[in-house]
Structure 1
Amino acid sequence: MKVTIDGQEIEVAPGTTILQAARMIGGESVPPAMCYYSKLKGTGGKCRCCLVDVTKGSEADPRPMPKLVASCVTGCQDGMEVASKKSDRVAEARKAVTEFLLINHPLDCPVCDQAGECDLQNLSFEHGKLQHRFIEEKRTFEPEDIGDKIQLHMNRCIVCQRCVEVADQLTDKRVHGVLNRGDHSQISTCVSAAIDNEFSGNMIDVCPVGALTDKTFRFKSRVWFNKPFNAHRECTTPGCCGKVTLWMFGNEIQRVTARKDEFHEVEDFICNTCRFDKKEVADWVIEGPRQFEKDSVINQNKKYDTTEKVVIETEKGILMGRDVDRKKISMAEIDYNEKIDGNPINSKNNG
């Protein structure tokens, strides 16, 4: 069957959602998604970031849908027409959703390890408002260690429940979940038990914000200072693919993550041994630099067709801040008879 999104027609299989169809098309028509995760079953429908406008239901029933729908849980119909990027109604709705997500979110970007690869940061940049209208007191939580390698910052959590789903589907020892309801909802363990299983580190990768962070990488470096490399090893842990991204600063491996696709989703999950214990270059077969398809502040990963050498001329030591090396300008040396655009420098026409 065929579906049209922002004027672009594509043929999809029955059961395909609007979001999946949009990702097949690619480009700016792809709705943002904070809770949906294609590698995890049962995700989606929670954050409402992926709202779209169905202007034509199908060939059989061409009536438009009266309300915006969540594209991650709405199936395509033959002849359906959808407006995503080109709809002012959708743009306003996404701004409103972004504002709601930021109500309790702290301004931690300068100190958050997720900065630079944060989905909420990207969402705020594209759909956020300049002014914050929420004046009430924000809910606050203390950081909590939920294991020897993972720290939970509930203040940053948007309760997307990805971490709950990944623990449910990768392990049989999930000990955490969503406690309470509504604005009081939080991710925690019932008895503050440590999360201890061989795939717990994947919760860090699937978290769209900085709520779950790698304690071995905390405050070590900003992600854009690291150079990512594809690497692999023969891992003996059942279920681990052994294919990772090494984030290196010089010859030092500062962190290890699973490889992610252009939608910032994990390609294959990895075990804690690969993630936390293998931090030596000799542990890995390095394949080469990893290129990111999606725009990122990790600007050294962008592909450039041409490069230009930039030379900054300065006197020796000027960057050290030494007064003796700074260039001095004397007003007596200025030629006031010199003309700019036909007018003398001291002319009133020059301001």
Structure 2
Amino acid sequence: MAEEQPLLKVTIDNITVEVPAGTTILNAARQIGGDVVPPAMCYYSKLQNSGGKCRTCLVEVSKGSEKDPRPMPKLVASCRTTVMDGMEVKNITSQRVIDARNGVVEMLLINHPLDCPICDQAGECDLQDLSFNHGKDGSRFDFEKRVFDKHTLGPHIQLHMTRCILCYRCVFTADQLTNKREHGVLDRGDHAQIATYIEKSLDNDFIGNVIDVCPVGALTDRTFRFKNRVWFTKPVDAHRNCSKCCGEVRLWMRGDEVFRVTARKDQWGEIATASDGKTGWICDECRFEKKKTSDWVIEGPTKVNRQSVIAQNKYVGLVKPPEFLQEVMDGTKPRYMLDIHSVSGVNEPEIRLDLIDGPAHSEDFKIADEKRKELEQ
């Protein structure tokens, strides 16, 4: 019987934890949790060789180990640096780390378009959270931003290379879930981009997972494109018997309508482990084709972090006060007293929003072709 390896002690922000040998500083911090955990935009524990690209997880090693207590002269990437026995690390307690992280965020936002109001990733974007904590209220970049043409990657995926931060997650995902590698990153420096050869790998049944691993809005679901805001939808866990994948997904619903289907994610924003112990990648059939509640067995509402914008008005066990408006109006349902179309020209003029059974759908807000021509003139 092999001897059990001793655990190594590492102290991160004055909190000590014991981890096995070979554990990275980032994963050791994740065992502690909370603000001690450095942010990660490129590292993905479910993908081999990921990490070391974005530099947002930089930390300061103030003590190398018990045998060699000298500090490391430079900040190190916590996702690629393994712990040593007696190592002491500073994350949020180091001003050097905070200043460096602010600089990394500023660099990531140099060419990133500030189109959050129209981006489908808004509300669940890692870059939004990162910039909120470490961004500045202005930009020192006075030059023209880098711009790429949009690419339609098959019928289900849209590539906005202008938003890409070159984290390589989609490259590793398509490479490790596809039988053959036909894409990657072309060019260097400011001209680097995800190669259009990614289109050739779209015949794989699991290529839709590149949408889930993307930390920004570079890869989005075309079936969900511009249909709704994520905080207006309600996430619920569901499953089905699927011959291709685990069939355990997260439905994003509004009323009884399923707007999109994604894989379940853990507290670190990564694909969660399925009930069979494997990574919960889902197939394209579950993701893009099963958009009816009758296709799924609903398990219940997803437990969302209360700090997330998605959690607004979706707390589990929330008791809402009773509505007395119908009783006041003698059983008559409330309706809109304003002709919205005459004011904004948003919905079709013949559609009365107050008579719609359930929440309004994106189809109800399309401007008629004749009205659009009038507005353009």
1:176, CA displacement in angstroms? 2.0
Mapped to 1, the partners of 2:321 and 2:59 lie a distance apart of: 45
| Greater Cα radius of gyration, structure 1 or 2 | 1
Aligned match of 1:278: 290
Listed as ranges, the gaps of 5+ residues in structure 2 are 1-7, 273-279, 340-377
Aligned match of 2:366: none
Listed as ranges, the gaps of 5+ residues in structure 1 are 323-351
TM-score (norm 1): 0.86
Aligned match of 1:249: 254
1:102 counterpart SS class: helix
**Structure 1 counterpart of 2:160, one-letter code:** H
**Structure 2 counterpart of 1:17, one-letter code:** T
The answer as to 2:264 corresponding to 1:259 is yes
Aligned match of 1:127: 134
* From 20, 23, 26, the counterpart of 2:33: 26
1:180, CA displacement in angstroms? 0.7
The answer as to 2:72 corresponding to 1:65 is yes
Mapped to 2, the partners of 1:208 and 1:302 lie a distance apart of: 23
The C-alpha deviation readout for 1:112-134, integer Å capped at 9, x for no partner, is 00000000011000110111110
1:148, CA displacement in angstroms? 1.1
**Structure 2 counterpart of 1:91, one-letter code:** I
**Structure 2 counterpart of 1:290, one-letter code:** T
Aligned match of 1:196: 203
2:11 counterpart SS class: strand
**Conservation of the 8 A alpha-carbon contact between 2:264 and 2:271:** yes
* From 258, 281, 287, the counterpart of 2:299: 287
Mapped to 1, the partners of 2:336 and 2:247 lie a distance apart of: 45
Structure with the larger helix share:
2
The C-alpha deviation readout for 1:164-203, integer Å capped at 9, x for no partner, is 1001111113332101111110012249647221011000
The answer as to 2:222 corresponding to 1:222 is no
Flag the 1:153–1:221 CA change in 2: closer, same or farther, 3 A.
same
Mapped to 1, the partners of 2:85 and 2:98 lie a distance apart of: 25
**Conservation of the 8 A alpha-carbon contact between 2:201 and 2:207:** no
Corresponding pairs, count: 319
**Conservation of the 8 A alpha-carbon contact between 1:146 and 1:194:** no
The answer as to 2:18 corresponding to 1:11 is yes
Mapped to 2, the partners of 1:191 and 1:259 lie a distance apart of: 24
1:61, CA displacement in angstroms? 0.5
RMSD: 2.3
The C-alpha deviation readout for 1:122-149, integer Å capped at 9, x for no partner, is 1000110111110111110111011110
**Structure 2 counterpart of 1:31, one-letter code:** P
Quick check: 185-194 or 291-300, which moved more?
A: 185-194
1:81 counterpart SS class: strand
Mapped to 2, the partners of 1:249 and 1:311 lie a distance apart of: 20
**Structure 2 counterpart of 1:250, one-letter code:** G
1:67, CA displacement in angstroms? 0.7
Flag the 1:269–1:192 CA change in 2: closer, same or farther, 3 A.
closer
Flag the 1:50–1:191 CA change in 2: closer, same or farther, 3 A.
closer
2:261 counterpart SS class: strand
**Conservation of the 8 A alpha-carbon contact between 1:147 and 1:194:** no
The answer as to 2:107 corresponding to 1:100 is yes
After superposition, residues 307-322 of structure 1 pair within 5 angstroms as: 309=321, 320=337
**Structure 2 counterpart of 1:117, one-letter code:** E
**Structure 2 counterpart of 1:215, one-letter code:** R
Mapped to 2, the partners of 1:280 and 1:321 lie a distance apart of: 33
TM-score (norm 2): 0.80
Aligned match of 1:81: 88
2:50 counterpart SS class: coil
Mapped to 1, the partners of 2:226 and 2:12 lie a distance apart of: 42
Flag the 1:86–1:319 CA change in 2: closer, same or farther, 3 A.
farther
**Conservation of the 8 A alpha-carbon contact between 1:54 and 1:82:** yes
Mapped to 2, the partners of 1:86 and 1:307 lie a distance apart of: 40
**Structure 1 counterpart of 2:40, one-letter code:** A
Flag the 1:215–1:191 CA change in 2: closer, same or farther, 3 A.
closer
